[in-house]
Amino acid sequence: MSPRAKFLLGAGVVVLTVGFLMAEGIKDTGVYFLTPSELAARVAGDSTMYDVGIRIGGNVANGSIDRHVASLTLKFEVTDGAVSYPVVYVGIVPDTFTEDVEVVVEGRLTRDGTIRATNVLAKCGSRYEAVPEGSQAST
């Protein structure tokens, strides 16, 4: 085998290996963004939705927050008004995390229907609104 053929064969093996590793990395870190209703519909039709990275957005259900301060464990439900999923998160949540706040939860859906969260993001409650007519902003 000529040196040129050996080089091309080696380069081809390297390119294929790098391509495979990139594809596997993207598959493992790819995250779906769904509402609870969309997730329920996907799970009903596709059992591979369990134990893969997902991102789900909705509101924290009223009365569902259960904090265990000593272990930093937080349990709550995320809902879109039609479907709810229980969430378990270990860690510190943002100060804006309260009942009925919009959240985005990243984690994995387990076979028992619980989302084991790795990250919880809460929408900021402040809004930028126009000053009502007839009012003057202080300068």
Which sequence spans correspond to the domains of the chain?
1-30, 31-122
pLDDT reading at 19 higher than 80:
yes
Query: 89, 55 in Cβ contact below 8 A?
Result: no
Architecture of domain 31-122: Beta Barrel (2.40)
Q: For residue 116, how many C-alpha atoms fall within 13 Å in the half-sphere facing its CB?
A: 9
Neighbours of 89 (CB within 10 A): 21
Rg (CA), the chain: 23
Q: What is the pLDDT of residue 130?
A: 57
Prediction pTM value: 0.66
Q: What is the pLDDT of residue 47?
A: 81
Strand 66-68, strand 115-122: pairing? unpaired
